[in-house]
Chains A and B, each alone.
Chain A
Amino acid sequence: DAGVIQSPRHEVTEMGQEVTLRCKPISGHDYLFWYRQTMMRGLELLIYFNNNVPIDDSGMPEDRFSAKMPNASFSTLKIQPSEPRDSAVYFCASSPNPYNEQFFGPGTRLTVL
């Protein structure tokens, strides 16, 4: 299995621009998670999906952030408009059920200038 796939690996953009991060979970995994990692706040859960349905988005920092999962093999995290404080590494992870560990993608390093 290819594991969790994220794209792009690196993204540099200017303040005010729209950013879209993409994730392909491991086939057969029903749970998909988006995390953000910063030096100040560490790893934080942003949102997670079960069977393509958003279950808990309480970690989404503000309305500028949105996430979708149109099908079982694809999810996006969008930031519009982006701000310098959004600079972080964004991880996508998937899990086959509530009882297993989560498998992480390689992350997207986002830099907002």
Chain B
Amino acid sequence: AQTVTQSQPEMSVQEAETVTLSCTYDTSESDYYLFWYKQPPSRQMILVIRQEAYKQQNATENRFSVNFQKAAKSFSLKISDSQLGDAAMYFCAYRRTGGSGGGADGLTFGKGTHLIIQP
């Protein structure tokens, strides 16, 4: 079974600074997807960024970028120029691809990192 570990229950960063959230995962699959979701106090789950395992290039979305290390099974999220609106819980998630049997599994989530932005 796949597992996702987020070792930082809480992180704090000054506004406009850069912060990196850590995520490691365990899988025997070679092809899969990784995601970072943001959950603000409204509890809505919002996709931040996604990464396909077969792509070597790290994904970027504006101020958000990832450092994907497939051999190390590491998938960290970097937030540049932190803004007050970035304050939220951040969840790392794994989803395997269809594989030989087809189909799609649900997401396996880490326990989350609570990001605090200091003004």
A interface list, Cβ under 8 A from B = 31, 33, 35, 42-45, 48, 50, 55-56, 59, 89, 91, 93, 95, 97-99, 101-104, 106-107, 109
A55 touches B45 (CB 8 A): no
12-54 of chain B: CB within 8 A of chain A: 33, 35, 37, 42-47, 50
- With both beta carbons as reference points, the residue of chain A lying nearest to B44 in the complex is identified as A106
**Which residues of chain A are near B84, meaning CB under 8 Å?**
none
Docked CA distance A109–B41 (Å) = 13
13 contacts between A and B (CB under 8 A): A33-B106, A45-B105, A48-B105, A50-B104, A95-B104, A98-B98, A98-B102, A101-B35, A101-B47, A102-B106, A104-B37, A104-B45, A106-B44
The 8 Å CB contact of B107, one of A45, A97, A106, is A45
**Which residues of chain A are near B98, meaning CB under 8 Å?**
98-99
B111 touches A56 (CB 8 A): no
B97 touches A42 (CB 8 A): no
The 8 Å CB contact of A99, one of B43, B97, B105, B109, is B97
**Which residues of chain B are near A56, meaning CB under 8 Å?**
105-106
B109 touches A42 (CB 8 A): yes
Main secondary structure of the interface of A (DSSP, over half): strand
Number of interface residues of B (CB under 8 A): 25
Q: A31-B104, A104-B44 are in contact. List 6 more A-B contacts (CB 8 A).
A: A35-B107, A48-B106, A98-B98, A99-B33, A99-B97, A101-B50
- With both beta carbons as reference points, the residue of chain A lying nearest to B42 in the complex is identified as A106
B50 touches A45 (CB 8 A): no
The 8 Å CB contact of B103, one of A35, A43, A93, A98, is A98
**Which residues of chain A are near B106, meaning CB under 8 Å?**
33, 35, 45, 48, 56, 59, 102
Docked CA distance A48–B104 (Å) = 9
Among A93, A102, A103, residue most surrounded by chain B Cβ atoms (within 10 Å):
A102
Query: Nearest chain B CB to A92's CB is how many angstroms away?
Result: 11
A106 touches B104 (CB 8 A): no
- With both beta carbons as reference points, the residue of chain A lying nearest to B4 in the complex is identified as A42
